[in-house]
Amino acid sequence: MPTEKEKMLAGELYRAMDPELSKDRLTARKAIHSYNATEPEQFAERAALLKSLLGSCHKTSFIEPPFRCDYGYNIHLGKAFYANFGCVMLDVNRIEIGDYVKFGPNVQIYTATHPIDPEERARFDEFAKPIKIGSKVWIGGGSIVLPGVEIGEGTTIGAGSVVTRSIPSRVVAAGNPCRVIREI
C-alpha cells in the first residue's frame, strides 16, 4: 500500500496531516525561517540554505526573502532564476522552472488543490498537480499560477494574472483568467 507521501507525489488524494508529511513541512519551515532571517549581505548563507532545502537549484538561482514553500524538495530551479520579494511556492507536487526565469514580487505558484466534494474536503484529503515553467519566462508581480499549468519557453505573463490553464511558448499573456494577448 502506498504511503501518503507516495500518493501525494503521484497526484492522488492523500492525507496532508500524515506524520511523515507533517515532519517534512516542519523541516522546510525551519529552513525557510533561517533563510528569511538572513542579513541582506549574507548571499553565501542564502545559497547554502536554498541548496539544502530545494530539490535542485543552480548556483546562480536567487530568491529574495521573504519566501515560503511547503516542502522545498519538489522545487527545481534552473540557471539564473530570480524571484523578487514575497514568492510563495506550494510544492505539494513537482515545480520545474527553466533557465533565466524571472518572477516579479508576490508571485505565487500553487501545485496544491482540493476536492470539489465537500465531504472529501472535510476529511482533509487533498491532491496536487505539477507545474512546469519553461526557460526565459517572465512572470509579472502578483501573478498566481494554478495546479497543472505549463508555461512555454520565452513567454511573458502580465502582472496580476491568474494562470488557470497552460500557456504556449513565446507569447504575451495576461488577465484573470490569463489568456494570450499576442505572439512574440
Locate 46 and state its grid cell.
542564502
Please pick, among 33, 58, 76, 114, the residue that the annotation labels catalytic: 114
User: Could you give the CA distance from residue 117 to residue 79 in angstroms, rounded to a whole number?
Assistant: 40
Q: Are 68 and 49 in contact (CB under 8 A)?
A: no
Instruction: Decide if 57 contacts 81 (C-beta within 8 A).
Output: yes
Helix (H), strand (E), coil (C) string for 50-101: HHHHCCEECCCCEECCCEEECCCCCEEECCCCEECCCEEEECCCCEEECCCC
Buried b (16+ CB within 10 A) or exposed e, 123-146: eebbbbbbbbbbbbbbbbbbbbbb
Q: What strands lie across the sheet with 87-90, from one edge to the other?
A: 67-69, 87-90, 108-110, 144-145, 162-163
Is 58 assigned a catalytic role? no
Q: List the catalytic residues.
A: 114
